[in-house]
Structure 1
Amino acid sequence: MLDVRRLRLLRDLAHLGTIAAVAEAHTYTPSAVSQQLAALQREAGVRLLERAGRRVALTPAGAALVRHTEVVLAALEAADATLAGARAGLSGSVRIGAFPSAVRTLLPPALVALARDHPALDLMVTELDPVDVPAALRDRRLDVALLHDYDTVPVEPDRALDSTPLLDETVYLAVAAGTDPAADPIEGARHANWIVGSPGTLCHAVARHACQLAGYQPTVRHQADDFTAALALVAAGQGVALVPQLAVNQPPPGVRLLPLAIRRRTRVAYRKGAASHPAVAACVAALHATAAAFPGDDPPGRHDEPPPGGPPSAA
């Protein structure tokens, strides 16, 4: 019988790419991970890994086993959900992950509702970038998390996770007050300095992609992962920035918001098989109720009418 803990290590190697990364994720030593994978290979009776330069790669048999592992782990999650549903009452710890703008807006009302309706739940929130969400869910550091992508820069779904749509937002180009809006705001910012997220973040990728679609590379002057900081820099005349609707409820004075056709799409994610877990289902329901009360495509604060050609299109 194959050991589930060792199968999880093999699955994580497929996602993370190196034994060192798997060791760090599980707080093991690389040597311990290598020994466990070697033991799994002996159990399997076929070669699962092979050298690829200084790294290891999965053989076709190893890749096939990972696909089966995803099914096994999802079945275990579903079994746990069934047992949780058979218990009286809703209790236990629920670890929720969300990106900063959601922590400030969507999450607090949902937490209030959950505490009111399910007082025995122990709710713990972690703020993190969406790119870190899949690994945190796979590693069981989170149970429910918000992640997002943009319609112009879609993210490939993680096979270990399921998710449900939560919210679509307008994305704005934040410019200094007094800036004359162009028919195409991104084209109009061709010669502007840009404020973008750190490399590796979706915010960084979507800003660069938007400029590339307009036929130029942005001149990046500042990097800021916090939208409040980015808006403050815009207000100080330091450049322009892309900001989603959740981040612009109260923009600072001196900022003008130009709506774009770009949409940011937020989803609630959890491990495959966990959708029917009562605590997960309660979190998803509370988040959907909060999102349903979101004001839509006309946030409070300073913003402008859509540029000529009509309002931004929906994803």
Structure 2
Amino acid sequence: MLDVHRLRILRELKHRGTLAAVAAAMAYAPSSISMQLSQLEDETGVTLLERVGRSVRLTAQAELLVSHTEVLLELMERAEADLAASSHAMTGTVRLATFQTVALALIPPALKQLRAEYPQLRVEVSQLEPEQALPGLVAHDFDLVIAHEYPGHPLPRLPQIEHQTLVRDRLHIAVPTEQGDRTLKLADLADHAWVMEPTGTPARRWCEAVCREAGFEPNVRYCSYDLLLHVKLVEAGEAVALLPDLVWAGAGPTVAQHRLAGPHNNRHIVAATRRGANGHPAVLAVRQALLEASATGR
């Protein structure tokens, strides 16, 4: 009989890449991780790891074991969800990761509602960009990830992850208020300085593509994940930007906004969960609270 705990260690190595990372994630000494994997090799009778320089990689047999381990873990999560659903009390911990805009606009009202309705439910929140949070969801570091999808740049659809759209977040051309008294098109901003998210992010790729469709290469002078900094630079007249509605967190905009032409002027705010945990009552409660916060706060 294969040991499930050792199988999980092998799976952790697949997702985290190094023995040191697995040891840190599971609060073990690296020597203990190596010993557990050696014992798993003895149980299976096959070689699971091979040396590549100073690191290791999984063999084909190890990859096969990991694929079966994914199924086992999903079944275990479904069992936990069914057990939780059979109880009348909403307890436990939901580990949530989200990006800045949602953290500011939706998390506080959602937490307030959850505290009133389910005082025994603990919600832990980490602020991370989707490209860091989604691998953590796969690795079981988080139970729920709130991410964004920009037009033409969908999130990767992994087989063990399910997605639900929470909000369609409209995107606008944002300029200083003194430019708000006339009709403005994106092409009118070809000579302006821009603030955008860093190179390689979905938001940056989308913004650049929209500008190129309008006939110009944007002069990106400022880069930041922080959309509040984007707002401040637009307020100061130092840059123009493409900003979503949620950045105002239910308050009125402090800069002039112009409608972005074309059909692709919304980003989607998406809730991502592992398939096994998707029906867990606590995960459903947190997701519902975020849905209600998005409906009342905009």
- With the length of structure 1 as denominator, give the TM-score of the two structures: 0.78
**274-283 or 37-46: bigger deviation:** 37-46
**17-26 or 139-148: bigger deviation:** 17-26
Note if contact 2:95-2:142 (Cα within 8 Å) is conserved in structure 1.
yes
Q: Distance in 2 between matches of 1:272 and 1:234?
A: 41
Q: Distance in 2 between matches of 1:133 and 1:91?
A: 24
For residue 31 of structure 1, report the CA deviation from its aligned partner: 5.0
Q: Distance in 2 between matches of 1:17 and 1:46?
A: 20
1:261-272 alignment runs, 5 A limit: 261-272=264-275
Q: Deviations over 1:5-60 (max 9, x none)?
A: 33333333333444454444445555554444444333333333445566544333
1:126 aligns to what? 126
Q: Distance in 1 between matches of 2:39 and 2:212?
A: 48
**123-132 or 210-219: bigger deviation:** 210-219
1:279 aligns to what? 282
1:197 and 2:197 matched: yes
Note if contact 1:134-1:158 (Cα within 8 Å) is conserved in structure 2.
no
Q: Deviations over 1:133-175 (max 9, x none)?
A: 2233344443333122212211212333333221121222322
Q: Distance in 2 between matches of 1:200 and 1:16?
A: 22
1:292-311 alignment runs, 5 A limit: 292-293=295-296, 295=298
Specify which of 249, 252, 263 is matched with residue 250 of structure 1. Answer: 252
Note if contact 1:230-1:241 (Cα within 8 Å) is conserved in structure 2.
yes
Root mean square deviation of aligned Cα: 3.0
1:301 aligns to what? none
Q: Distance in 1 between matches of 2:198 and 2:60?
A: 36
- With the length of structure 2 as denominator, give the TM-score of the two structures: 0.82
**202-211 or 85-94: bigger deviation:** 202-211
Unaligned runs of 5+ in 2: none
Note if contact 1:138-1:271 (Cα within 8 Å) is conserved in structure 2.
yes
Bigger fraction of residues in helix: 2
2:172 aligns to what? 172
Q: Secondary structure at the match of 1:157?
A: coil
Unaligned runs of 5+ in 1: 296-315
For residue 201 of structure 1, report the CA deviation from its aligned partner: 4.0
Q: Secondary structure at the match of 1:222?
A: strand
1:259 and 2:260 matched: yes
Note if contact 1:153-1:209 (Cα within 8 Å) is conserved in structure 2.
no
Q: How many residues align?
A: 292
Note if contact 1:196-1:224 (Cα within 8 Å) is conserved in structure 2.
yes
| CA distance 1:61–1:241, shift in 2 (3 Å) | farther
2:147 aligns to what? 147
For residue 73 of structure 1, report the CA deviation from its aligned partner: 0.9
Q: Deviations over 1:233-288 (max 9, x none)?
A: 122222222222211443324x4344352321112222321122221122222222
2:221 aligns to what? 221
Note if contact 1:50-1:56 (Cα within 8 Å) is conserved in structure 2.
yes
Q: Distance in 1 between matches of 2:52 and 2:265?
A: 40
Q: Deviations over 1:91-139 (max 9, x none)?
A: 2333333222112222233222222222222333322222222233344
Q: Distance in 2 between matches of 1:189 and 1:294?
A: 31
Q: Secondary structure at the match of 1:119?
A: coil
1:57-206 alignment runs, 5 A limit: 57-177=57-177, 178=179, 183=185, 185=186, 187-199=187-199, 201-206=201-206
The aligned amino acid for 1:12 is E
The aligned amino acid for 1:278 is P
Percent of pairs identical after alignment?
A: 36
**64-73 or 208-217: bigger deviation:** 208-217
Note if contact 2:184-2:258 (Cα within 8 Å) is conserved in structure 1.
no
| CA distance 1:218–1:285, shift in 2 (3 Å) | same
